Chains A and B, each alone.
Chain A
Amino acid sequence: MYDFNYHEPKTLAEAAAALRTSRDGSFIAGGMSLIPALKQRRAKPSDLIDLRLIEGLSGVRREGSAVVIGAMTRHADVADSALLRATIPELGRLVGEMADPSVRNRATLGGSVAHGDPAADYPPALLALGATIITTDRTIAAADFFTGAFTTALRRGEIITAVSFPIPQTAAYLKFSNTASRYAIVGVFVAKSGGDVRLAVTGAKACVFRLKEMEDALAKAFIPEAIESIAVTPSALNADIHATPEYRAHLISVMARRAVAATAAKRQN
């Protein structure tokens, strides 16, 4: 790891100022992606601006018909939230199954979202639930936020403070994990609110994306059979040692149907 200057600001304004005056600084939240990158010298920021002492960035709270989660809320605390279990249980379950307990004790919502890993689990949840990312400067719809592999709409010096998740009628996330890393080879998050259905896919392209054709079919009939005949085009999908584009296309269809079926199973319980 290269040397860097370390800052521990107590306010968002101090944090933004520290970043703007640094040569090539970086914010750090839980550090579960950044510290490995520093150790491998894939990242070499001149300054690290640690957000851990800034108050008011953690916790899960209800705001009208949405659940708002502070950006510095650890995965372990999101997974443990009784409020989330009572409102968007699928989101709590998804977060509780990320990585392992020691990573969940450090990793944060804001860090994960800002990192924009194309195989991460939070992005499809944000996209399918129609979440809003709240930053120090503005609010950004999830649909406008994830712009590419490890790329987001965040500007330099802008800090995520919270994410607001509208409470859906029903939702389910189905993930086909790499058995070693547990990252999604393909993950599908489906959410339904009234006549509005969103279906988002992670792990399959350079960026999380929605499948409009499946959404339209599911809006007419929210049953697995409604999307059975919809073919997923493999051409733009990732190819790597874990899966071919054709296999990923197949997995998307299967995971999407299983996700819809899972919401039905939940409604009966």
Chain B
Amino acid sequence: MAHVTIRVNGKEETREIKPRTLLVEFLRERLGLTGTHVGCDTTQCGCCVVLVDGRSVNSCTMLAVQANGTSVTTIEGVADGDKLHPMQAAFREHHALQCGFCTPGMVMSALELVQRNKNPTEADIRYWLLGNMCRCTGYQNIVEAIQAGAAAMAQGQ
């Protein structure tokens, strides 16, 4: 067994885990944070993207022990209470989801993009989303939402 302490959405979580526990299993099964989804389970679809020390990672392809001592942000940690994060609000406003399964990963990936590039172009967004798949094929509205979300974040909304 391994002893890990990970700061998840601002709260320190210490658990005894088997070293083979994936970060996504730790989040979903040990902490009950089921907003992070497992789509492909093979590092391709991006449904499980979370931020580890501010950077997007596929939590299905990272061991929880590798995240020991880091800060992890999941989709549950981005809203301010009942007030949606501007990026979440933009996804709702622009109808950027149909089934919604890929949405948590899309939002988390978008947040790292905006962190690196405050005013991404459509091409920047499409290139950045290479590792996030939407099986409803709704990319057009996702791209529009991310552009709007980035603009809202820049205005501090």
8 Å CB contact of A32 from B22, B43, B46: B43
Question: Which residues of B sit under 8 angstroms from A105, Cβ to Cβ?
Answer: 52, 55-57
B66 near A50 with CB under 8 A, answer yes
Interface size class of A (residues with CB under 8 A): 20 to 34
**Residues A52 and B109 in contact in the complex (CB < 8 Å), given A2-B20, A3-B18:** no
B131 near A36 with CB under 8 A, answer no
Q: Report the minimal beta-carbon distance from A81 to chain B, rounded to whole angstroms.
A: 14
Q: How many A-B residue pairs have CB under 8 A?
A: 68
- Complex CA distance for A76 and B115, rounded to whole angstroms: 14
Interface of B is mostly: mixed
Instruction: Report B50-87 residues with CB < 8 Å from chain A CB.
Output: 52, 55-58, 61-63, 65-66, 68
**Residues A102 and B58 in contact in the complex (CB < 8 Å), given A6-B65, A32-B43, A35-B63:** yes
8 Å CB contact of A4 from B19, B58, B61: B19
Name, among A1, A52, A76, A103, the residue most crowded by chain B CB atoms within 10 Å (CB to CB): A103
8 Å CB contact of A102 from B22, B63, B109: B109
- Complex CA distance for A230 and B43, rounded to whole angstroms: 40
A101 near B56 with CB under 8 A, answer yes
Name, among A6, A31, A48, the residue most crowded by chain B CB atoms within 10 Å (CB to CB): A6
A39 within 8 A of B: yes
- Complex CA distance for A4 and B20, rounded to whole angstroms: 7
Instruction: Report B90-149 residues with CB < 8 Å from chain A CB.
Output: 109, 112-113, 128, 130-132
Can you name the residue of chain B whose Cβ is closest to the Cβ of A40? B42
A35 near B62 with CB under 8 A, answer yes
Instruction: Report A211-232 residues with CB < 8 Å from chain B CB.
Output: none
Q: Which 8 A-B pairs have the closest CB atoms?
A: A100-B131, A6-B19, A100-B130, A105-B55, A102-B56, A1-B20, A35-B61, A102-B58
- Can you add 6 more A-B contacts, CB < 8 Å, to A35-B62, A50-B65, A101-B128? A3-B19, A5-B19, A36-B42, A52-B66, A101-B112, A105-B57
